[in-house]
Amino acid sequence: MASPDVTALQRSDLNRFLFADVGTEASGMTLSVVSVLARQGSDPWREAGRLATLPRAEATDSLAHTIADMPTSLWKLPDAVVIAARLIGLLPERPASGLERTVSRGLERTVSRWPASTIAVVLACVAVAIGYAFLTFLK
């Protein structure tokens, strides 16, 4: 489903990567990353986001295979690896946010990991609430 936010494209931190040139096609047209990903049937922003979460080597390998596996690709895998390495360097750095992406049977889900200090505070609050409820119940 398309995003209802019409300004999302302008704010995207993935635009530098998505609109970067892959190379020139046989027709003389410049091919961009967004075109490569769209031709493969992927949502370009989702795929770029997925690549940004991967380690650089893994992201480079994935993008290189995507480029080399295009039906009319002019680039063999070794050339595609060089191109992909340059392009992956344009992805934004993702800060360690406590979120970890897991992939299981092709389904992605994001797992949140809370810091131990946050868990301790939550458990302390729950313990106080239970204690208060218990004391209130005894009266």
3-class state of residue 111 by DSSP = strand
Indicate the pTM of the whole model.
Answer: 0.61
Residue 54 structural domain: 8-94
Q: Is residue 132 assigned to a domain?
A: no
15-29, 52-66, 103-117: the lowest-pLDDT one:
103-117
C-alpha pair distances (Å), 133 with each of 90, 118, 129, 130, 139: 55, 23, 6, 5, 10
- Alpha-carbon Rg for the chain in angstroms: 23
Count of domains in the chain?
Answer: 1
What is the average pLDDT score of the chain? 81
Q: Is residue 38 assigned to a domain?
A: yes
Q: Is residue 90 assigned to a domain?
A: yes
Q: Is residue 112 assigned to a domain?
A: no
Q: Is residue 53 assigned to a domain?
A: yes
For 50-106, the pLDDT digits (tens) are 999 999 999 999 999 999 988 887 889 999 999 999 999 999 876 554 445 555 445
C-alpha pair distances (Å), 101 with each of 41, 64, 104, 110, 134: 22, 21, 10, 5, 40
pLDDT at 12 over 90: no
Q: Is residue 104 assigned to a domain?
A: no
Q: Is residue 87 assigned to a domain?
A: yes
Q: Is residue 131 assigned to a domain?
A: no
